[in-house]
A and B are shown apart, each in its own frame.
Chain A
Amino acid sequence: MKQNSNNNKTAGELQKDLSSYSLNCSLDQNLEVFREIFRDDDTFSIRLFKNELDESLKFCLLFIDGMVNNELINEDIIKPAIKADIEDTSDDLLQIIKDTVIAANDVELTEDVAKLTDAIIRGDTVFMADNVSGGLIISTKEPKTRSIEEPTSERAVLGPREGFVEDLMLNLSLIRRKLATPDLKFRFIKLGTQSRTNVCICYLDSTVNKKILQEVYKRIGEINIDGILDSEYIKDYIRDNPFSPFLTTGSTERPDVVAANILEGRIAILVDGTPVAVTVPYVFIENFQSNEDYYLSFLLASFNRLLRIAGFWISISVPGVYTALVTYHQEAIPTPLLLSISAARQGVPFPTIVEVILLSIVFEMIRDAGVRMPSNLGQALSIVGALVLGSAAVEAKIVSAPIVIIVSVSAITGFMVPKLMIAIVCYRPLLLLLSAFLGLYGYVFGIMGILLHLCSISSFGVPYMLQITNLTAYEMKDTAIRMPQWFIKYRPKIISLNRVREGRGGSKPWSGKRQR
């Protein structure tokens, strides 16, 4: 019965339970407290030892096996504690040990059981002595993390290759290395009643818009959840227009992208345990911006960006427009093309709309299968995809050849803007159905609906279509095209209130004239 009630305790009650414990001067009793807290947890280790000069000095280490650096404990805690020549065995024994014996950079003396428990869970070691109340928290964490690699989802041909890892502190150090200024602020919040995940909000104090920062704190403060395993958990809570297929929060695995966003006055939210950082506010044009745009010549970057913008609209439009043209507006197709489409459709039993839907669904299935499939099965998938769906379906007259082209074009252009994948997956069938029922008339209505929606949503008070709805020269410098760096003299408005980008005096490109 008691067991049962324990299991049903909420995390909050558990915290209260911890504070009800208290330490006293008996080491045995203190150990009993921790044995009770960590009952049924076999990774919890207790190491008892004595000072070799004065055997009345009993010490004890509490830690969790596997989360601590054993060498550190052996060499810098146990060894000096055994060898130490301690004469004064008064009440401030722990203070003396902290000051003169233990060789660790971060040692804290506390009597708070909750704090001690939290430290043990996070991989620190608690040092206790007999006849003294309280314990020393000694930093012995050894985060086992993978090495810094280039994130597979955000590759760049040129430019920095590091990506975030799962360890929050390491991630913060990566950002700190890019922005070496005390102006860069890191604020920690613990979220998740069970996971107690460290979340860090970072920003540049001089450029951030304080109202947006307040809003971020407010929204994060209202999160009530048991565990946070990825930044998406947080995004779900703080995102504006949560039902919109357009994301109003950004995510990246690259420190350089986070640094660039912070420089523009945005706020980054990093979560312990995931390499994905969240950036807010997030506006529409960011979907088309890639970090590589800033590492390549502005000409190539602008061209790529225009391609991506075109790619998005093509990807959502192509199946719909094709269906509308072929089933309603045959007069708009050049005669030879009309004849070849007609030829391809000979003997196909389904209406065009069914063909398009059929092949689109199959494509989405292949896409989803490809993501999680073991990589050694990839070959099988590509053979099935290309042979069975590409040629066999056409030869068997289940779909006509133009449909394969239409779905492929739509798929390829969709892959150009992975950040808009959700919008593409939602709007492509919507436009297709509108076109199938109403022709181009329906398509135009669909596009108008999408544009209205885009203009109506916002991200942390910033209009989603920021910098796009105004046709002014300085706002367009980093939107559809990327101008050279010296051209972009201002940060985006609203996002940052401190807008002038460079120091006083302005910056100019090298004039190219030889100095005499």
Chain B
Amino acid sequence: MVRKTTALTVLVMTLFTFSGCWDYREIDKLPVVVGMAIDINDEGKHVVTAELVDIAESGHESAMVKPRIIRTEGDTLFDALRNAIAFEKGRIYTGHLELVILGRSALESRLVEVLDFLIRDVEARMSIWLLASQEDTAAELLETNTITGKVRTFEISQMIEAQKDLAKSFEMNINEFMNQMQCRGCSSVIPSMKLHNTAGTETQALSGTAILKNNRLSGFIDGEETKYFCLITDRVKGGILVIDSEPGKQRKDTALEILENKTKIKPKLSDGKISIEVEIKTKVALGEHGSTKHKYSEGIEVHKKQAEDLIRDNASALVKKMQTEFDADIFGFGHSIHMDYPELWRKIEDNWDEYFKTLEVVIKPAVEITESGLLQESITKGD
């Protein structure tokens, strides 16, 4: 009996020493940070602008969530966050961090350093949204009120999630970005954000994409280009294609809503020369028809061709732009070659940058118009 009791006591004692989460903290004592904007200042220090959520007690009414912006500095990101203890109610709690906006300065020099902390830290999640600031600093974006004036981070997060119906931006979390960064034969991208004036109010707006070459910012593309980037990299879940109802009309009057898209990047090897074939299969619905000339049933083939031309022209232009202006393989063509032709990849890996500039890329769109809403025909004139 004595031996049994001793054994049990020892076991219970060890239970406490093996504990992985020895940290009793009361939930209301935590400074919960939900959004962060990271810049590097002229002295080379990290400037972190963070949005914290506080609970405002307002008498008998139920308590309200109140955002609060703080700014802290440090030599590294970790240092900066710890420095905040000097004026905060405790250690900044990053377990509910949802959004990190990276300023130009951070993107240009210290991207890996910043991300290393967020990935290594046990508290921060791997699902944090990443955004690049098109403004001078990232802080401006977080300091500007959102359109409803509530917690900015939550609203920006909702904006990011809602983007799938527009396809002019996309979702990028830390986990995905890390994979992208480590992928051989791909350049990284981060959706970007800028300030935007809507009805006299300055507010944030998602806009285009930041292109990174060797983990350094090399420039931005706009929202329209981003849509074709999304089409090529198979990120499209919605969005619309606006076309001319007939060739040469020079006025975009018909909108097709993307219902479903599937893109395949196929490297082709012929006579020792590699080329890329991008098959974009898109199912669309006629959402808006501007022409009274064509009946929908007659014009369907025309619309289909117009849409395919639109995709082909714009996607090709974007590829060209990447090949000539940015030298950045953001589509992961190199990665596809690596997967399909590993032997060949080993040979060209070292000078892939040069190779990419002259790579032949063929865009093969296939648009299928499956429905036309509540109207089967176009609206015709009465008399």
Query: B55 and A346: CB pair below 8 A?
Result: yes
A261 proximal to B (CB < 8 A): no
Query: What secondary structure prevails in chain A residues at the interface with B?
Result: helix
* CB interface residues, A 433-453, toward B, < 8 Å: 436-442, 445
Query: A328 and B23: CB pair below 8 A?
Result: yes
B5 proximal to A (CB < 8 A): no
* CB interface residues, B 8-59, toward A, < 8 Å: 15-16, 18-28, 30, 32, 34, 53, 55, 57
Query: B28 and A346: CB pair below 8 A?
Result: yes
Complex Cα distance, B30 from A328, in Å, reads: 12
If the complex has contacts A335-B96, A343-B65, A438-B16, are A328 and B24 also in contact, measured as CB distance less than 8 A? yes
Query: A441 and B19: CB pair below 8 A?
Result: yes
B93 proximal to A (CB < 8 A): yes
**Residues of the B chain whose Cβ atoms lie less than 8 Å from the Cβ of A347:** 57
| Central interface residue in A330, A348, A437, A442, by most chain B CB within 10 Å | A330
Query: B16 and A338: CB pair below 8 A?
Result: no
If the complex has contacts A327-B24, A441-B21, A445-B15, are A342 and B96 also in contact, measured as CB distance less than 8 A? no
Complex Cα distance, B53 from A441, in Å, reads: 29
The smallest C-beta distance from B16 to any residue of chain A, in angstroms, reads: 7
Q: Which of B18, B19, B30 sits near A342, CB closer than 8 Å?
A: B30
Complex Cα distance, B30 from A327, in Å, reads: 10
Q: Which of B18, B63, B98 sits near A343, CB closer than 8 Å?
A: B63
B377 proximal to A (CB < 8 A): no
Complex Cα distance, B60 from A347, in Å, reads: 13
If the complex has contacts A338-B96, A445-B15, are A327 and B63 also in contact, measured as CB distance less than 8 A? no
Query: A342 and B15: CB pair below 8 A?
Result: no
Query: What secondary structure prevails in chain B residues at the interface with A?
Result: loop
**Residues of the B chain whose Cβ atoms lie less than 8 Å from the Cβ of A442:** 15, 19
If the complex has contacts A342-B30, A343-B55, A347-B57, are A330 and B95 also in contact, measured as CB distance less than 8 A? yes
Binary B-proximity of A294-334 (CB < 8 A = 1, otherwise 0): 00000000000000000000000000000000111111000
The smallest C-beta distance from B241 to any residue of chain A, in angstroms, reads: 36
B125 proximal to A (CB < 8 A): yes
Binary A-proximity of B96-113 (CB < 8 A = 1, otherwise 0): 101000000000000000
Q: Which of B18, B53, B65, B123 sits near A331, CB closer than 8 Å?
A: B123
User: Nearest residue in A to B98 (C-beta to C-beta)?
Assistant: A335
**Residues of the A chain whose Cβ atoms lie less than 8 Å from the Cβ of B198:** none
The smallest C-beta distance from A399 to any residue of chain B, in angstroms, reads: 13
**Residues of the A chain whose Cβ atoms lie less than 8 Å from the Cβ of B125:** 331
**Residues of the B chain whose Cβ atoms lie less than 8 Å from the Cβ of A338:** 27, 32, 96
User: Nearest residue in A to B25 (C-beta to C-beta)?
Assistant: A327
B binding-site residues for A, Cβ under 8 Å:
15-16, 18-28, 30, 32, 34, 53, 55, 57, 62-65, 93, 95-96, 98, 123, 125, 154
Complex Cα distance, B231 from A75, in Å, reads: 107
**Residues of the B chain whose Cβ atoms lie less than 8 Å from the Cβ of A339:** 32, 53, 55, 65
Query: A330 and B25: CB pair below 8 A?
Result: yes
8 tightest A-B CB contacts, nearest first: A331-B95, A343-B63, A345-B28, A343-B55, A439-B21, A335-B96, A328-B21, A342-B28
User: Nearest residue in A to B63 (C-beta to C-beta)?
Assistant: A343
**Residues of the A chain whose Cβ atoms lie less than 8 Å from the Cβ of B27:** 326-327, 330, 338, 341-342, 345, 352
If the complex has contacts A331-B125, A335-B96, A343-B65, are A439 and B19 also in contact, measured as CB distance less than 8 A? yes
**Residues of the A chain whose Cβ atoms lie less than 8 Å from the Cβ of B21:** 328-329, 438-441
The smallest C-beta distance from A300 to any residue of chain B, in angstroms, reads: 39
Complex Cα distance, B291 from A327, in Å, reads: 63
Chain A contact residue count (CB 8 A cutoff)? 27
User: Nearest residue in B to A436 (C-beta to C-beta)?
Assistant: B24
A351 proximal to B (CB < 8 A): yes
Complex Cα distance, B23 from A149, in Å, reads: 56
Give 12 pairs: A residue, B residue, CB < 8 Å, sorted on A. A327-B27, A331-B123, A335-B154, A339-B53, A339-B65, A348-B28, A352-B26, A437-B16, A437-B24, A439-B20, A441-B19, A441-B21
Complex Cα distance, B15 from A445, in Å, reads: 9
Complex Cα distance, B63 from A346, in Å, reads: 9
**Residues of the A chain whose Cβ atoms lie less than 8 Å from the Cβ of B25:** 327-328, 330
Complex Cα distance, B28 from A439, in Å, reads: 17
**Residues of the B chain whose Cβ atoms lie less than 8 Å from the Cβ of A341:** 27
**Residues of the A chain whose Cβ atoms lie less than 8 Å from the Cβ of B26:** 327, 345, 351-352
**Residues of the B chain whose Cβ atoms lie less than 8 Å from the Cβ of A439:** 19-21
The smallest C-beta distance from A346 to any residue of chain B, in angstroms, reads: 5
The smallest C-beta distance from B68 to any residue of chain A, in angstroms, reads: 13
User: Nearest residue in A to B30 (C-beta to C-beta)?
Assistant: A330
Query: B62 and A343: CB pair below 8 A?
Result: yes
Q: Apart from A437-B24, A439-B20, what are 17 other A-B pairs with CB-CB below 8 Å?
A: A326-B27, A328-B21, A330-B25, A331-B96, A335-B34, A335-B96, A338-B32, A341-B27, A345-B28, A346-B63, A347-B57, A348-B28, A351-B24, A351-B26, A436-B24, A439-B19, A442-B15
User: Nearest residue in A to B64 (C-beta to C-beta)?
Assistant: A343
**Residues of the B chain whose Cβ atoms lie less than 8 Å from the Cβ of A348:** 28
User: Nearest residue in A to B124 (C-beta to C-beta)?
Assistant: A331
Complex Cα distance, B57 from A335, in Å, reads: 19
Complex Cα distance, B24 from A438, in Å, reads: 9
Complex Cα distance, B64 from A506, in Å, reads: 67
Complex Cα distance, B53 from A347, in Å, reads: 17
The smallest C-beta distance from B67 to any residue of chain A, in angstroms, reads: 11
User: Nearest residue in B to A348 (C-beta to C-beta)?
Assistant: B28
The smallest C-beta distance from A393 to any residue of chain B, in angstroms, reads: 16
Query: B55 and A438: CB pair below 8 A?
Result: no
The smallest C-beta distance from B292 to any residue of chain A, in angstroms, reads: 49
Complex Cα distance, B23 from A442, in Å, reads: 13
Complex Cα distance, B30 from A329, in Å, reads: 12
Binary B-proximity of A242-285 (CB < 8 A = 1, otherwise 0): 00000000000000000000000000000000000000000000
The smallest C-beta distance from A444 to any residue of chain B, in angstroms, reads: 11
The smallest C-beta distance from B174 to any residue of chain A, in angstroms, reads: 14
| Central interface residue in B24, B26, B27, B34, by most chain A CB within 10 Å | B27
| Central interface residue in A341, A342, A437, by most chain B CB within 10 Å | A342
User: Nearest residue in B to A332 (C-beta to C-beta)?
Assistant: B95
| Central interface residue in A326, A331, A351, A442, by most chain B CB within 10 Å | A331
| Central interface residue in B34, B55, B154, by most chain A CB within 10 Å | B55
**Residues of the B chain whose Cβ atoms lie less than 8 Å from the Cβ of A343:** 55, 62-65
Complex Cα distance, B93 from A335, in Å, reads: 12
Complex Cα distance, B62 from A343, in Å, reads: 8
The smallest C-beta distance from B10 to any residue of chain A, in angstroms, reads: 15
* CB interface residues, A 415-449, toward B, < 8 Å: 436-442, 445
The smallest C-beta distance from A214 to any residue of chain B, in angstroms, reads: 30
User: Nearest residue in A to B21 (C-beta to C-beta)?
Assistant: A439
Complex Cα distance, B23 from A427, in Å, reads: 24
Complex Cα distance, B21 from A328, in Å, reads: 7
